[in-house]
Structures are given as structure tokens and as C-alpha cells.
Amino acid sequence: MSEVRLRFAPSPTGYLHVGGARTALFNWLLARKEQGKFILRIEDTDVARSTQESVDAILEGMRWLGLDWDEGPFYQSERFPVYREYVEKLLAEGKAYRCRCTPEELEGRREQAMREGRKPKYDGTCRNLAEDLSGTPSAIRFKAPGEGMTAFDDLIKGRIAFNNEELDDLIIQRSDGTPTYNFTVVIDDATMGITTVIRGDDHINNTPRQILLYEALGYPVPRFAHVPMILGSDKTRLSKRHGATSVIAYREMGYLPEAMVNYLVRLGWSHGDQEIFSLEELIEKFAIEDVGKSAGVFNPEKLIWLNAHYIKNGDPKRLAELLVPFLRERGVEQADKPELPAVVKTLQERARTMVEMSDGALFYYRDDFDYDPQAAEKFLKPETLPVYEAVIGKLETITDFSYHGIEAMFKDICTERGIKLGQIGPPVRVALCGGTTSPGIYDVVEVLGKEESVMRLKRAVDYIENS
């Protein structure tokens, strides 16, 4: 059995969007499952629109998702001599011909065909010319068969067939010498030994033309799998109006790559009722034949639910490393202090994104915060001074400054004063965090440390006495 070889071939005319990332992921998973090769090819023949910035954005997006490639990246712009070689081969074998028809002539014939109710395809004017056009500006067309059927068994959609009479003589090289998409993709896939092509189903109509080129060149035809498009919540094709579609934009919004991978693979593929998959499970269980035939609908709520799951169950040390740039964006210069994993542990339960976690972590790094007005009015008042004094006194003399030691200290205060924890926790929380919403109070005291906790409690006392 020959080696399985798959590829991802984006055009560098923009970022790596969600749909492209899912296509790359499906190819990568199948390559890893079959212990084959995953090839990255940059289809940059559109010189006017292709940019290095887009190339960098695509590579960055793939690296963030963990989609490593075995070969490449190959650039089509560096392979023009290869394409010309195959154009000449087809010309020499009589399987292609020169076409001198101008764009204006072609447009006129197209309009006439439409007026007459005919399919607006090339009419073969130059197909059998005896005249030698090698010295004149001309495009090169592939001689497609005018009858019969071209069919293939799509791994997702099943049998698909086209009448050859519906296909015209495809231009494979423009009059300026540049090759066309359908030609370059066949040459690349053939010479790179691609055995399976997984791509969006907007390419289905290209497939019969490409199959005919494979056959004309004497190359084996790869297996094809056309993945349905991703739709927005309004059932139209996913676009910017549905939210950020760049995978790097999701990183900047605080999503984890493992959540994005898990979400993308489930956007069209399923394995029973299982929702959460490790990467190892995905590689083991993924099958392209299990991808649905209908379009997937992008659900931001499902993605954020997955992200919250991965944050909640993530390694605090790794999350701390990811959190650092978010904290620095918020002005925390000493974000990478040793206690950051401990900060993360107090926030994992509630944070749905790294942005939410960074916002929730700010009070740990800022002791000059303003108190929430409603919380201050309710808890920073003379009646709470005895509570603060009791907590300060206990903290200054505590010997077991651990979570359990802090918990025991608060319970002792409740017992000694005949009050409930609900009468101590909220005012202490406001003093330490600025408001009534924060991680568990014992966690907060432990992470802040004895000295910082006492200082913040005394600040609250000063606020009350000076109000």
C-alpha cells in the first residue's frame, strides 16, 4: 500500500480563516491517523493579491493550532518552469492547443450564447486551426473530450458525475505566460504524489476538469473529499459579519488552540455523542467518511463553552504563560511573577476566555483600585470596622498561612464573635478585591499573602474612617 499524502494549499490573499483552518485540520488528522505525510503548499500565483503578510498570518495560524507539516511550504510562484514544461508536453502530444481569441471576442460569443439560450462555453474556434500560432500572443487550451461522462466517488458526498459536453476547453496558460489555477493544482498534486484531496465543496465543479488533466498527463487520480461550507447563524456563508473569522483573532480574544481544534473538528464531523476529544483521540477516531454532507453552522456559544472547559481543566503553569501577554496589555508589567500559576488556579473555575481571566486577575496586581460604589456603600461602613480589626489581628498572628489555616482562622472569628461567615466574607472581599465578585476568599488571601492582605484591609479601615 502506497503512502498516504495529503496537502493544505491556501492562497495568501488574507488570513487563515475558520473554514480554511478546518480544511487544514481534516487533512492533518487523516495524515496523522494513516501515518502519512501532510504537505503545505502556498498557492501564490495571484501576484497582485498575494502578500508576504498573508503568508505569515497563515503560517502563524497553523502553528498556533498545532498543525505541523512534514513537507513545505512549497510556493507555486517558484514552480513556473515546472508548469511550462507540462504545458509543452500537452502541446507536443496534441492534447492542448494555442488560442488567439481575444477577451473581447470571447465576451461577445458568451453574450450571444446566453441570448440564444446556449451554455456560454468556449466554442472551439481555435481547436483545429492548421495555422501555426507559436509566434503570436496566445493562450493555451486543454482539449477536453466533447462527449461521455467524467465521474468520481467523493468520500463525503458519494458518486458525482458530469457530462463532458458541459465542459469547455479549459485555458491552462494565459497569453501572458502565467498558468491557471486548475492546471497548477493538478501539476502540483500529481508531482507531489498527493493521494487524497480534502477541500471545500466550492471546488466540486473544478474536479471533472482536473480529473481529465490527470488522465491526459498519465497520472493516477487522487481520492477526493469535498467538505461542506461553514454557515453563520443566519444560514448564510460564514463571513466577517458573523464575528471574527481569523483563527489568530480568536487567539487574541482569549481562546485556547485545543478548544479551537476540538470545535472545528466537530463542525461537520461527529463520533457518537462525544463532545470533548483529546488530540490523540481525534487522530485515532477521525474518518473523513464520517463528515456530514450538509453545511455546519458556526455556534459561538458552543465554542466558548469548549474554551471554558479547557481553561477549567488546563495546567495552571501553561495557562499562566498564555496569560502573561494579556496582563501586559492591561498594564501589568510584572505579569510573569512566580505566583502567577497560583493566581490562575483561583480563576480557572469561572473564566471562559483568557481575556476574562486577565480582567479577573487585575486586582491581584493593583492595590490602588477604586471600590465598587454599591459594594462600598453596603460594606465599607463603621459597622464593619470590628470585622476588619478581627481579621487583621488574626492575620498578623497566624502561624499556618495555608488555605486550610486561613479557613480555620475565619471559622475561629465566627465562633468567637457568634456571627456567620456571610457577615465576614463580603466586607473582606471588598477590601481585598474592590468588589463583591472574586475567587474564593481563602484562595485570595493565600495568593495575596499575609502582608498584602493586611495592608489592603487597613486601607479599607482608613477609607471608612475618612469617609
Q: Catalytic amino acids?
A: 240
Cα four-point dihedral sign 234, 238, 241, 246: positive
Helices 450-466 and 441-448 pack at an angle, to 10 degrees, of 110
Residues 6+ apart with CB under 8 A from 169: 97, 99, 122, 124, 127, 141, 142, 143, 144
In sequence order, what are the residues at sequence separation of 6 or more whose Cβ sits closer than 8 angstroms to the Cβ of residue 449? 401
The closest alpha carbon to 44, from 219, 166, 184, belongs to: 184
Residue 434 CA from chain centroid, whole number: 36
What crossing angle do the helices spanning 441-448 and 425-433 adopt, rounded to 10°? 40
- If you ran DSSP here, which 8-state letter would residue 370 be given? P
Which residues are CB-contacts of 32 (< 8 A; sequence separation ≥ 6)?
38, 283
Nearest Cα residue to 417 out of 437, 388, 455, 452: 388
How far from 254 is each of 223, 326, 409, 430, 466, CA to CA, in Å?
37, 8, 37, 27, 40
3-state secondary structure of 314: coil
* Residues 121, 394: Cα–Cα separation, whole Å: 88
Grid coordinates of 269: 464531523
**Of the candidates 5, 226, 180, 228, the residue with the CA atom closest to the CA atom of residue 83:** 180
Query: CA–CA separation, 80 vs 160, rounded Å?
Result: 32
